[in-house]
Structure 1
Amino acid sequence: MLKKISLRARLTLLSAMVMACVAVMLTGMFLVGADRIFVRNLQQHFVTQSDEYDIILSTTELNRSDAGEITFTIKQAGSQFNIWGAAGLALMLFLGTGATWLMAGKALKPLRELTGTIEGIGGNDLSRRVEHQDRQDEIGQLAVSFNHMMDKVSASFERQQRFSASAAHELKTPLATILVNLDVLDMEEKASAAQMERVLSIVRTNTERMIQLVDNLFQLTAKTGDGMCEEVLLEEMFAEILEEQTPQLDAKHLSVSLSGLSGMKLTGNPTMLYRAMSNLVENAIKYNRENGSISISASRQEGNTIIKISDTGIGIPEEECERIFEPFYRVDQSRSRSVGGSGLGLALVKDIVEKHGGSIRVNSRAGLGSEFILYL
């Protein structure tokens, strides 16, 4: 029943009930006490005095009839007193309820403003916030919490917009490349075998790129992975990754050092963990310098396995380190495109690590290389 009325009316009703109970109890105690003291005792006093001093009363103007009139007058005064007491009680309840209604309305005014602000927020405008004016009470805390929530929602909405725009751009680029080459081929009356082979190679490359992009997007949106309780040997996994990346390592003349991997194990999904580590090693190669180095180490600390992958590459500006794990985000758009990739690698790494109950962070400065640290 109470859930169907406003909070202001609910507070007023509950306050009125409490006031009524207290006022009735106090008024009842007061009226009973007054009746016992001023009516019954005083009436009994007059009757007793009239019996004992009947001779005296008969010789004066005060007789039994006068005592009866006095007693009746006292009873009448007691009844009037009770009536006025009840009327005063009703008046106090009415005034108290009205005052409670006004005070509740003033106290709940920020809630009405909060409701109005929430209703005024549109899907495309998340910039409005609730003014709490440094309030330290529960309503101020609610307003602060709401503003913090809206900050997170706004940031998430902006990331989603960037994600959608970047995904559309990443898919549009290979499709446009395929379409242009097909149009060029169509303009040729008699395409040579070499031209056909070139166009087919471009189409195949861009198709594989789109398949890889869609696969990465699918991995990002997958809630859980299968086989999350298998045992993975780090030494074997990194040996396989480095063997796969040998041509790229040789092309840049990079050296790789391994430490602490022997006997180290992880529990999780082998395919997902392999993909995460492979992405980090691939990035360490892509963005490294000629004749640079890569260091891979593992250690145990407080029940966690800590994996560090560092390089001597171009590094990442400090202000960009927090955003590199966002999907499609690139520190340097032109340089990132020249070395390939879609900007989903680190987002996938972070997603895989978090699905295994871990975390990842990066230490880097522009021109001084990068170090990725995984806690699993």
Structure 2
Amino acid sequence: MTDNEFYRTKRLPPYVFAEVNKLKAAARAAGQDIVDFGMGNPDMPPPKHVIDKLTETLADPRVHRYSNSRGIPGLRKALAAYYGRRFNVEIDPEREAIVTLGSKEGLANLAQAITSPGDIILAPNPSYPIHAFGFIIAGAAIRSIPFRPGPEFMNAMDRAVRHSVPKPVAVVINYPSNPTAEMATLDFYEEVVAFCRKHGIFIISDIAYAEVYFDGVAPPSVLQVPGAKEIAVEFSSLSKTYSMPGWRIGFCAGNARLIGALARVKSYLDYGAFTPIQVAATAALNGPQDCVEEMRARYKSRRDVLIEGLRAAGWPVDPPAGSMFAWAPIPERFQHLGSLDFSKLLLTEANVAVAPGTGFGEQGDGHVRFALVENEARTRQAIRSIKAFLKTAQPPVDLNKVRAARG
């Protein structure tokens, strides 16, 4: 029996990123220097006061026992305080907040908690894979909606309600977006909340990049909309804000019914994150926040070097206003390759790794994603290689066009 014979795994397509990762590993094994923009994996350490708190807490013999699946009370209170000062939203740390092992685990376990086989879930295309596949693993059917906030998004929601049987259970939203870096306004959230309240649809919002913004306008929370907590929960994370991805600390806040369902599933699956990590995470949220400003400045500098360099190389890319990603349309003469083959070509010919857009959904196939995880010097090195590649590379022949020309 292969894993493709199991009910849940056979619903998962081959992992697109694995092909690029395999080429990347082979190139490095051969001694090549790969400038890697592929994964959104922060390269800077967490703030010193957070590491110091972790080290201090480790010395307490009591913290090495099982922890609390919902998260220690102090951390849930710190999350509630964050929502209060950042969004002016009141969160009950007992009923409306839970700590997760990163937002990815939380999203997947919430999907398990609320999904019945055959349920319809609305998810953007392209989007971060767990937004769709967390529900696919749980047995749902995904109906794709536009990733860009605006009239097309709302029209797609309306069509889904009128033409889906059964009616959609939930909609996933993610702004600032991974991979597209789209931003949403509070006015847009108000439309979504009004629509979903009318039709009894849950909203599952992912704001993992809410603190990564560059042009002075802080991204809002859907929970700022009056009445949103009747139907909405929101996932956040310390991974990007405090450069703590490997610590696996995330949160879910909002509707008490959904939080309770997630808590019940988690109580069977884990004992919560290691207590010293939760204590240090509390220090991150409650402590000095100048480190967050420094994080934004670092990513903005990298964004500017990347975008200016790509444009100078003949590859026009819009600068993202938020997130740690740039969503780059494939240059015109390479578009027939699709994002996977173009990513492979860029890796082999320019020693630059990016994420193929098709890995985030078929609607992403005309783009590749750059993660702002290389410093300015490495980014300039990559730009020089890309410029030479774009100047000299000859795209492989599009066999489909050749066949069409021959009739």
TM-score, length-normalised on structure 2? 0.20
Q: Which has the higher helix share?
A: 1
Greater C-alpha radius of gyration: 1
TM-score, length-normalised on structure 1? 0.22
